[in-house]
Structure 1
Amino acid sequence: MEVDAVLHGLIPSKLSGGSLARRNSFVEKSILKTVEVEAKQLESRLRPDITLITKDLRCKLFERPGLEGVDSFLEDCRREVRNGLGDLDDNKADGTMGATYFMEGVPYLDTSAEDDNGHKIGELASTAICGNDITASCFYVVGELSRNAGVYAPLCTMLSSATLYCFRSVYAEVVTALPLNGGIYNLLLNSSTKQAASVAACLTILSYTATGVVSSVSAADYLKCSPMFGDIESVPTAIGILGFFAMLMLMGMQESSAVASLLFLFHLSTLFILAVFSVFFLQDEGLGQLYANFAWEKQPPFANSIFFGFSSAMLGVSGFETSANFVEEQKPGVFPKTLTNMWVSVSVINIFLPSLAIAVIPLDDLTGSKAAYALAVLAERVGGPLLRDIVAIDALLVLSGSVLTSYVGVVGLFQRMAGDRCLPEFFSETNSWRGTPHYTILVFFAVCSSMCIVLDGDIGALAAIYSISFLLVMGLFAFCGLWMKINRPTLPRPIESHPMFFVIGLLLVAFAFTAVVLLHPEMLTYFYVYYGITTLMVMLTFARENIFTAFLTLLSHSKVAGAAIKCIMHKDVAEMWIRTKLKTLRNQGVVYFTKSASISQINRAVQYIEQNEEARWLKVIHAYTEDEPIPPNLLEYVQMLDCVYPKIKIDCIVVRGEFSPELVQYISTRLSVPVNSMFINCPKHNFKHSLDRMGGVRVILNSEKASLLEGVSGPTPTGPSPLSPTLDNSYPEGHQGMR
């Protein structure tokens, strides 16, 4: 089908008449403008700048004569499928069969150039960005931990440190094997289905939401501990902090590695000074308060203290996954160092600060109304109002930095998911003023504010929701890391960790998760509501083709629906918009790079795309060099699969050039297919390029393993393969093609 015909099908002839011209509402103008833009984009996709492979060109490329019998057989198959496309025109891309192409004019691409890592950030800056997030948790953990564990709080933090030690190995193996931004979403996207990755990403979104809310409320509490701001309300102040950073994000502000480094050093210095003052205080005053706290009448039993205290202590290591979300911006070898640095810093801080607080402050004060700003109380006790104000300023700055981190993280994740077609496209839209994704920022601000209002700024309840989402993300990471060991065995792993680290880490996280649920069962309702809303948005995105089709059917057959839509816009405008959306969804191209002519592998790739992608146009691409000619039968295999899957248009494109990141980018630009819609098999240890250099190419399949029976002597099959190059160019008498 020609492009003009396709575009003509988008615009009913009625729209050129006077009925629509007399009614140009704002909604209709917006829809018509959208249709025009998407029609132009569709036109560029349907006219690829590549050469159709003719019989003569195929003989030249393959250096063998054409297979007349095979051509005749495939043409019969394609003719019968084409005759049946009348009922499938709305489902199969542009309603045509696939074709075979040769990409000419590929320029010389220098694949020997090494990456320029000068613009990437080093160990200090990387540690600072994620360290500010994870070490800021001490401001709201000390009080909550003391409530649940009492004098046994240091033991709980030691257990959380041991858990983090296990996850240091888990994250090191998984993220260095798949060094791409996205955390758990990236892990599942490259080892499981797209739907599973999206559902898991919803947990990360909820974790970012809880991070922003908890950090803003805690910052407001520490601000309130100063007499100058003692009359402020926590909830309005927290919403004000969230709104302030939303405005900064709308103006284009991003995290600065230099500012983060200075803030991190100031934060560590403040905590060090607080610890030194506390030690001097204990030297002067003695350990009388510690002995008194050991006799605290509200002290829970030892087992309960460890069980529930461990769940609170795990909140103190939240943010450990932050480094995995910007691994592409880090210099080579930096990521494992950031994990070690975070583990050391948070272990020291979370063990010593609760110990000092218990030795200095009565547990009644530490677990009472002052628990929300426990470190400020400790600072005032050991150093007076000046040290209290310094700690409060430090808390305000570092916790505000965590709010900014949550904004930056959720914006990046939303844009990544929208680019992968897991969320509606409007989340990736940017404004013309500052080039920022305003819809994402405003939606995130609204969700955070609603959570703050619904829970009335209760730091304990907010911390419970944060713990639930964070622990689920960590548990999924350990489980999926084990799954990847099984499902992606050939994937190169610069760091290999023993499976026991994954198992122990998963069990400890499950232990903490159970404690949180038992301690705050009422918080599960709020968790389900917010997680359900996020997941529903993702599921609706995956089902939008069915939704559009159902709505179009309803408009065509229901007079009530037609009358209702006329109250808003012209019925033909609505139908035109829906048809445009459907054609745009189905004509989104995806690319699968194949190294060999394996019909089994290509078939599995088609099945993956059919189950995980809305696109119904697959381009199977093979890159070859003069030393490695095009595999025999590749074109025939693709044409056969094009007949087997009548709802998917499957093209085969051969490209002369070495498969490399540069070639991937060139093909992406030339075919107007984003790199994150390009797929490959799981690379092996001899793969020349690391995945982080591939620009976001997705791993969807394992390379097929050799059969255990391969090499076992047995009877030789008689008769040639139907697609063998030595096949006689004739078919059995009476052959009529595929029925």
Structure 2
Amino acid sequence: MQSSDFEKERIASGGLKSSRTEWIAIEPPHFSRNPHSSVRMNHSDSLYPPSFHQSQYDIVLRRQRAHQEGKPKFTGVPSRFLNLTNDFEFAGWGSISHLKLAPEDISRGELEHNSFREQQVLGQFTASALAANDILGGVFYTLPSVVAVAGVYSPISLFVAALTLFLWRPIMEELASAFPISGAPYSYLLNVSTKSVALLGAALLLLDFAATVVVSAAAATSYLAGEILLPFPVYVGVVLVLVLFTFVSLSGLRESARIAAGILAMHIVVITMLIVASAIALGRGGSAQLSSNWSDGNTGMPSAAIARQIFNGVCIGMLGLTGFECAPAYTAKMKQNCYPKVLRNLHLSTLVLNSGVMLLVVALLPIEVVESGENILSLLAQKVAGRWLRIVVVVDAVVVLCAGVLTGIFSACELFAELAYDRVIPRAFLATLPVTGAPYVTVISFIAFSALIYGSTGANLIVLSQMFSMVWLAVMGLFPVSLVLLRFSRPRLPRVSRCSLLLVVGAIIVTLAITGGNVAIGPSIAGWFALYIIVILVLFSFSQNKVTMLRWVYWAYDQLPWLHRQQLTKGWGLGLIHLMRSLRRREVCLLVKTDEINHLFNMILYVRYNEETSCLKLVHFHQGDIPSEMVANAKILDEAFPEITVGLMLVEGQFEPKNLAALAHHLKIPRSLMFMSSPGPNFQYRVAEFGTRIISI
């Protein structure tokens, strides 16, 4: 072939510039074999492209000419199916295309980019309220459990438990500064690890949110039943609470946040009244009751037994911190620089409230009354101010605990949305009501799942609370693990906040120690925890690996040849093939900057192992200059993966959020299915503005 023929072939196949000084060289340069030589010698110093006798590019072109466009890429590998076709396992050939975004696409991209900032509607107080109602409501059901194991040392245990959050706050702030996105820690793991690891985090989060809803609803009903005679069983009251807050959640995000803020304001007023009245009563009556309780709790106990009591109280006292993990779940909805303040508000409030109220309880009530496990705060209110304050505290307890239901639902909606965008669950979970915009499929499904958990435990609040504590610890353990993976896998990712590695290690050690303590207190906790996690992971695995499951069904059908001859069953194979092809045709984009084939190869491997698709498009934004080997390497990779169609799209324009949103609109591909490499510290945009997944260093 003459040089002019080569030039025509090269331009037609890649659409590159026709300059004689730019060509695609597949064959690597030949270097000197002398190890002492510092001169690197190319096979040719000519400004003209090498001939086909010197270049290996003709191998790619010959193979491309040999196949018919649109036909699948077959290989010599034997089929695992002995009686049926395996055509569906092979994809078609990719194409090279150029794109200049249309004005309507660009305007749509600008609109979507602007809506990213408009969704940040939660201020410091409103964002704090959503999680605070859960974390502060824990005081109503945590105190009796802690007193049962720690006795008079309960205030110390609760204070130490709250101190542990000093380890987690810097960790969570660094993670959020790197990934200011919703669905944490599932989203964190998805961007720093594999999808399978991320689904483990999603399973823990889902169980945590469900436990939040069920325990809050059950505790509210039990608290009310302890004060008045209900005309129905407690479990009926729990169902009524779930139904009520289902309708509240369907009213929409803004309305739910405002309700949560109003409830928090009421709770602060009531707790302040209780603390002030208790302090006045303590000043008038003196510390006689505290001294009596202290002496009773210290009688004949060795130091080791006292330390074990305090440690057990710390383990159970972690239940009073539940809700802290909910704040990262809706980080994307918060205004800028609001998240660290939210964590601070949540931490300081629980640090003062839990241990402070517990100290007042031990100082004013006999220890045997406290250990009875009844509504402790209502008894305290009765003693320090009379019947009126007791009624107020009971009403506050019921309302705040019900607000914990709202927190769990709200956090679950954010998680389900992320899972739907990532094709883990059906996109039907993104369906919203036309007026309020509430995700009704998600809300109803999550409430049904929570009710199922409540019913499967026999409506046992003790079992639910113990499991809740275990799940919460597991979720909190995901944050330091995510940060370790972030620093190892995405070290270049820009972030404002950084914490010490000692804090990360300390958080992991504390998580393991307290988890072991909880298992030692109630070994059955681990059984319930493992049961629910396994069930959720199996469901996620089936949903994530639908094509794999169908391939197993197809294989089983292939092993039974007599079914192929039956009139009713001979079309099953074609139906399975059609379903598998339709599931695999959903396209995924890789946003690439370099033409280094090893980098492109690793990114395609990620897609192959983490996404069920046979359609992959390499997308490169450019402003005139295109990497010299981009087209050739795309063709090589297209041939290297017979089960995937690897195409290349060269998009004219700058790589920025609005252009990426415009491209997503043009291709009808959600940005959550566009993957990119980790940006460097000088990158001018935030990761959250792109809405893409980071899959490489």
**Which TM-score band (shorter chain)?**
0.7 to 0.9
Decide which of 607, 620, 645 is 1:622's aligned counterpart: 620
One-letter amino acid matched to 1:268: I
Q: Contact 1:62/1:630 (CA < 8 Å) preserved in 2?
A: no
Residues 531-563 of structure 1, C-alpha deviations (whole Å, 9 max, x = no match): 111111011123321221232344466478789
Match of 1:172 in 2: 173
2:581 corresponds, among 580, 583, 591, to 583
Task: Deviation per CA, 1:658-705: give whole Å up to 9, x if none.
Answer: 1011111111111121110000101111111101111x2000000xxx
| Among candidates 516, 519, 524, match of residue 517 of structure 1 | 519
- Measure, in 1, the Cα distance between the counterparts of 2:367 and 2:230: 23
- Contact 1:254-1:408 within 8 A present in 2 as well: no
SS in 1 for 2:616: strand
CA distance in structure 2 between the partners assigned to 1:283 and 1:441 by the alignment: 49
Contact 1:255–1:408 (CA under 8 A) maintained in structure 2 = no
Q: Please state how far the C-alpha of 1:392 moved relative to its aligned partner.
A: 1.4
Aligned match of 1:713: none
**Residue 682 of structure 1 corresponds to which residue in structure 2?**
678
What residue ranges of structure 1 are gaps of 5+ in the alignment? 1-51, 703-739
**Structure 1 Cα separation of the partners of residues 679 and 457 of structure 2:** 47
Secondary structure of the 1:90 match is helix
- Whether the aligned pair in 2 keeps the contact of 1:428 and 1:437 (CA below 8 Å) is yes
Aligned match for 1:59, one of 17, 25, 28: 17
Once the two structures are superposed, what CA deviation does each residue of 1:302-339 show, in whole Å capped at 9, x if it has no partner? 12212210011111111112221111111110011111
1:531 to 1:560, Cα distance in 2 relative to 1, 3 A: farther
Residues 253 and 623 from structure 1, CA distance in 2 versus in 1: closer, same or farther, beyond 3 angstroms?
closer
The one-letter code of the counterpart of 2:262 is L
| 1:257–1:428 CA distance, 2 compared to 1 (3 A) | closer
Per-residue deviation, 1:441: 3.5
**Structure 2: gaps spanning 5 or more residues:** 1-9, 25-48, 80-85
Report if aligned partners of 1:235, 1:457 keep a CA contact under 8 Å in 2: yes
Distance 1:297-1:336 versus aligned 2 partners, 3 A rule: closer
Residue 16 of structure 2: SS of its match in structure 1?
helix
Cα distance in 1, alignment partners of residues 227 and 538 from structure 2: 43
TM-score, structure 2 normalization:
0.85
For the residue of structure 2 that corresponds to 1:295, the secondary structure is: helix
Shift in Å, 1:104: 2.8
Aligned partner of 2:412 in structure 1 is 410
* CA 1:431–1:343: 2 relative to 1, 3 Å: closer
Kept in 2, the 8 Å contact 1:129–1:257? The answer is yes
Look up the SS of the partner of 2:17 in the other structure. Answer: helix
- How do residues 640-719 of structure 1 correspond to structure 2 at under 5 angstroms? 640-694=636-690, 696-702=691-697
The corresponding residue for 1:729 is none
**Cα pair 1:117 1:331 within 8 Å, conserved:** no
Q: CA deviation at 1:479?
A: 1.9
Q: What secondary structure does 2:386 align onto?
A: helix
Q: Deviations over 1:14-36 (max 9, x none)?
A: xxxxxxxxxxxxxxxxxxxxxxx
Aligned-pair CA distance for 1:237: 1.0
Deviation string 1:517-542 (CA, Å, 9 cap, x unpaired) is: 11111122222221111111011123
Structure 2 residue matching 1:349: 3-state secondary structure: helix
Rounded to whole Å, the distance in 2 between the matches of 1:658 and 1:445 is 44
Deviates more, 1:446-455 or 1:201-210: 446-455
The answer (yes or no) to whether the contact 2:88–2:577 under 8 Å persists in 1 is no
After superposition, residues 296-311 of structure 1 pair within 5 angstroms as 296=296, 301-311=305-315
Aligned position for 1:75:
61
The alpha-carbon deviation at position 438 of structure 1 amounts to 5.0
Conserved? CA contact 1:255–1:404, under 8 Å? no
**Number of the residue aligned with 2:595:** 597
Distance 1:439 1:557, change over 3 A: farther
Residues 342/61 of structure 1: CA separation in 2 closer, same or farther (3 Å cut)? farther
* Matched ranges for 1:115-514 at <5 A: 116=117, 120-227=121-228, 229=229, 232-249=232-249, 256-296=256-296, 301-370=305-374, 373-428=375-430, 437-514=439-516
Rounded Cα–Cα distance in structure 2 between residues aligned with 1:153 and 1:295: 14
**Could you say which residue in structure 2 is the equivalent of 1:631?**
627
AA in 1 matched with 2:413: V
Contact in 1 for aligned 2:151/2:297 (Cα 8 Å)? no
> Is this contact kept in 2: 1:53–1:102, CA < 8 A?
no
- 2:440 & 2:633 partners in 1: Cα distance? 46
CA shift for structure 1 position 252: 5.6
- Separation in structure 2 between the aligned mates of residue 555 and residue 279 of structure 1, nearest angstrom: 75
Cα distance change on mapping 1:233 and 1:510 into 2, 3 Å: same
How far apart, in 1, do the equivalents of 2:574 and 2:220 lie? 50
Letter aligned with residue 610 of structure 2: N
1:36 corresponds to: none
**Matches of 1:186 and 1:404, distance apart in 2:** 22
1:427 deviation in Å? Answer: 4.1
Separation (CA, whole Å) in 2 of partners of 1:255 and 1:576: 49
Deviation of the 1:120 alpha carbon: 2.3
Asked whether the equivalents of residues 96 and 648 of structure 2 are also in contact (C-alpha less than 8 Å), the reply is yes
Q: Deviations over 1:590-637 (max 9, x none)?
A: 1111112111110110111111110121111110114xx111111111
- Cα gap change, 1:200 to 1:55, in 2 (>3 Å): closer
Q: Deviations over 1:353-408 (max 9, x none)?
A: 111111112222222241xx322222222222211111111112111111122122
Match of 1:44 in 2: none
Distance 1:459 1:62 in 2: 77
Structure-2 separation of matches of 1:524 and 1:482 = 26
Q: CA deviation at 1:261?
A: 1.9
Q: Is residue 378–residue 391 contact of structure 2 (8 Å, CA) maintained in 1?
A: yes
Q: Which moved further from structure 2: 154-163 or 631-640?
A: 154-163
- For the aligned residues, what is the CA RMSD? 3.0
Change (3 A) 1:124 1:663: same
Q: CA deviation at 1:255?
A: 5.1
TM normalised by structure 1 equals 0.81
Q: Separation in 2 of the partners of 1:249 and 1:122?
A: 19
* 1-structure distance, mates of 2:285, 2:361: 14
* Alpha-carbon distance change, 71 to 152 in structure 1, aligned in 2, over 3 angstroms: same
Q: State the alpha-carbon separation in 1 of the partners of residues 251 and 284 from structure 2.
A: 51
